[in-house]
Amino acid sequence: MENTTTTTTLNPSHTTLLIFFFYILLCSSLFISTLAKSTIYNVVDFGAIPDGITDSTMAFLSAWNIACGSTKPVGIHVPKGHFLIGNATTFRGKCNNKAISITIHGTLVAPYDYRVIGDAGYWLTFDHVSGVAIHGGVLDGQGSSLWDCKNSNTKVNCPIGATSLAFNNSDDIVITGLKSVNSQLFHIIVIGSHNVKVHGVKLIAPGNSPNTDGIHIQFSSHVTILKPRIHTGDDCISIGPGTNNLWIEDVACGPGHGISIGSLGWYLNEPGVKNVTVRRATFSETQNGFRIKSWGRASNGFVNDIHFEHALMTHVQNPIVIDQNYCPFLNGCPSQASGIKISDVTYKDISGTSATQVAVKFDCSSRQPCKKIRLENVKLSYKNQNPRASCIHAGGTALGAVQPESCL
């Protein structure tokens, strides 16, 4: 007892130490909270108005310019509400810091009249930035009247439209929990960029909306796409020339045109596509599952080291397809052979239902036959009939149970 009392009684030197300790704690927490406050910019403080009608473009650009000019990490906060970004807008680097985090609780809305941004090609672009993260938020591209125009008989006067979000020549990018609805053109484009993580995005447009690809990657490396939910009118994910070290996991795709490498080989000199993995994907009522597509034209490009693994197809028109004779409207390529070299492509553990009898189709180039195609544990069915596989200029191997019977 005696002992306890003496230990709980502080002697003067202990007290000084303790006070000093709390003083330090107080100072540092004050310091941290001022730091946190001073480095988060709210777009409303720059004049953005969450009424969906007032153009907030200048306010967003002002917040960006301050953030980009800062030498310390910064946050940009977009609160709840609808913010009209009424014109094609580029958030430009290079910035003085490599840590700008944009947190969006509200919705950014494109102009209702598609002609305003329809010829710009892009709505929101980040160009030459590094270390930018976007968390949450909804982008509403208001594309429906443009699709009506494109789907009508007088489509000659329709502009191409604008992609909702693009990262151009950028590095170390994170996009999490973003939702994009009704893009005029593509939902997201990543071009000339490296080390990009796209996590948990939802990309939604009607199945009959033209050219609304979910995510398009081109001239980019080390892009990782995890858990995207894509319901759109064109490719769920499309992979263009110059893509390497791409990792895609846990995809839900449909409606849409599936996951496509291509179209490749329009240009004679074109960088290839290398080391792409798609692991765990579901395709529901899509036009394609896994597709590789090249123009029937001379090209030095290639497709190499591709892994399509663990997929479930539900009523997919072309579950597995390579088409090297792509030449819509016989424009610029009639009766030419594709120069794209396709090799080392693995399809492993793919099951489900095909909506057409030819469930596996390898239509390769007479000039550059497909090499080292591997089918491993593929089980696709077609109604109550035998599904078929079709091979033209395609070589490779089949492992395990493969249905339809391999033609490699």
Catalytic residue numbers, as ranges: 257
Among 70, 145, 169, 343, binds ligand NAG (CB under 6 A): 169
Minimum distance between the CB of residue 198 and ligand NAG, rounded to whole angstroms? Answer: 13
Cα(99)–Cα(172) distance, integer angstroms:
9
Tokens of 175: 């996009």
Q: Which is nearer to ligand NAG, 225 or 321 (CB)?
A: 225
Phi, psi of 150 (to 5 degrees): -65, -30
202: three-class secondary structure by DSSP = strand
As measured in angstroms, the least distance from the Cβ of 169 to ligand NAG is 5
What are the C-alpha distances in Å from 346 to residues 176, 229, 286, 289, 311? 29, 24, 21, 14, 12
Q: Which of 46, 64, 114, 122 binds ligand NAG (CB under 6 A)?
A: 122
262 neighbors 290 (Cβ within 8 angstroms)? no
* Residue 23, both tokens: 């003083």
The CA distance from 46 to 61, in Å, is: 9
Q: For residues 157 and 147, what is the distance between their CA atoms, to the nearest angstrom?
A: 12
**Total binding residues for ligand NAG by CB under 6 A?**
13
Based on the shown chain and the rule CB under 6 A, indicate whether residue 275 belongs to the binding site for ligand NAG.
yes
Specify the amino acid at residue 83: F
Q: Which is nearer to ligand NAG, 228 or 296 (CB)?
A: 228
From 120-128, 263-271, 354-362, 391-399, span contacting ligand NAG (CB under 6 A): 120-128
Single residue of 56, 168, 232, 286 touching ligand NAG by CB under 6 A: 168
Per CB under 6 A, contacts with ligand NAG among 277-336 are 277
Cis peptide before 372 (omega within 30 of 0): no
Contact flag: residue 245 with ligand NAG (CB under 6 A): yes
Interface of this chain with ligand NAG, residues 176 to 235, rule: CB under 6 A? none
In total, the chain counts a number of residues equal to: 408
Among 42, 70, 87, 144, contact with ligand NAG (rule: CB under 6 A): 87
Binding site for ligand NAG (CB under 6 A): 87-88, 90, 122, 125, 127, 168-169, 245-247, 275, 277
